[in-house]
Structure 1
Amino acid sequence: MSTDNSRVWIRRASTAAGLCYTAIAEYELARRLGARPPIAVMLPTSIDCYVVAALKWFRAVDVFLSLALMGAAQVAAHALEAGVVEVDLTLVTVVSLLVPIALWRTHALARQTPLDDMPSTTVPPVPERVPDVPPDIEISLARDEQQNTGETPELPPGTDQDAQDAEPSELRLLTSKDVAEHYGVDPSTVRGWVAAGRLDVFTKDARGHNLFHPEQLNPPHMGVRA
């Protein structure tokens, strides 16, 4: 038997033995408080179901609380059997609250998503191919290059003489939506790139939204193979 299987069976045997032992005292406690046999069975059943749920999904608070409820029932049962305490209103009240608490927490645990079933939050891969730069940004970059080198670069088709002679307009910063449309992805993907440090934020607008410089969308900044 492998080590993993041994651990599983040891854990199961320990749980089964503990539940069987405590269930007897819990049943006798319910009978001592006046519950009939079919009803007295419900006390150990409810507590044991809560203990199993807490151990299965292993929420630390519920593990502690479920074992505390089980321990309280054990102490009350053995104290009654030994004649240390007598049946009174306080004891009846405490035992009566054990089942509602176990019922509430068992359903709360069952409605929660186990950690193993939660979807992983990995950042989507960056597209290998960087789409072409939009025409308006390409024209602006060409004009900047013309001013720096003194040469007249070839502009994209459809650019008339008036557009060539006009003064270069102020470069427009891109929003997360613009970048998402630029790469053909969802805006949440762009935010993932920013969080992963694969996309530089140039500045923020008055409302705190990220703004990106079009020249910083080159492959080296995005981790894309050129």
Structure 2
Amino acid sequence: MDITFLGTGSAYPSPCRGASAVVFRTEGECWLFDCGEGTQTQIMKSLLKAGRITKIFITHLHGDHLFGLPGFLCTVSLQAGSNPSKQHVDIYGPVGLRNFIHMSLEISHSQLLFPYSVHELVPSEDHENEQFVVQAFKLYHRIPSFGFVIAEKDRPGKLNREQAKRTCVQPGPIYGKLKLGSSVTLENGQIIHPSDVLGDHLPGRKICILGDCSGVTSVGAAKLCQEADLLIHEATLDDDHDGESQGKWS
């Protein structure tokens, strides 16, 4: 699991710093959070590949978090390979995001070769797969803005090789099945359960990514980020703005 900062600049990109864009990557998953102007160029300078992005999360609709999205989608389309229809990108963000993407692509006559879906967010709605649960929560900003919590589900414990040998489990593919939580039946008919050879579950990790804000909108939202392993928070304003809640929205 790693995080790549493609851009951390505010308002507009500069020669030495890109506008807001962060990539969260783990085995089998590669997600982009915000897509400021120049993100497609920044990703080309990194070890990442645009075509590996499967989900895009937009914190809010200010240009320095959004203007790179149409161009980035076109880059993904160009790099989609011989079977672009097999690639699908889910895009999450505030109400208005679907219209922005549609109008940008329509006016520029840009045709994407891969399917995509836009999900306009409802706070506290969970988005889940086999590895992670992603939850959006509201932030105080001049326009609707979201923070995101990526909560990894508990992982299987480490394989006890000595215990596996005692239960006649041979090294190989069977180890992999047990690590994934599946029971296996040996040639002698003996059934081996993951709990027979695995240690205690490893607690999942938690990453919190906040967009522009002067605070969260509720105690419940703040609790979502408690005990996070990593917190990514914008730091644009100085202490004179501490505690401000301009642009409250419900």
Give the TM-score, by structure 2 length.
Answer: 0.22
Q: Kindly indicate whether structure 1 or structure 2 has the higher relative contact order, using CA contacts under 8 Å at least 6 residues apart.
A: 1
Between Structure 1 and Structure 2, whose CA radius of gyration is higher?
1
Answer 1 or 2: which has greater strand percent.
Answer: 2
Give the TM-score, by structure 1 length.
Answer: 0.23
Answer 1 or 2: which has greater helix percent.
Answer: 1
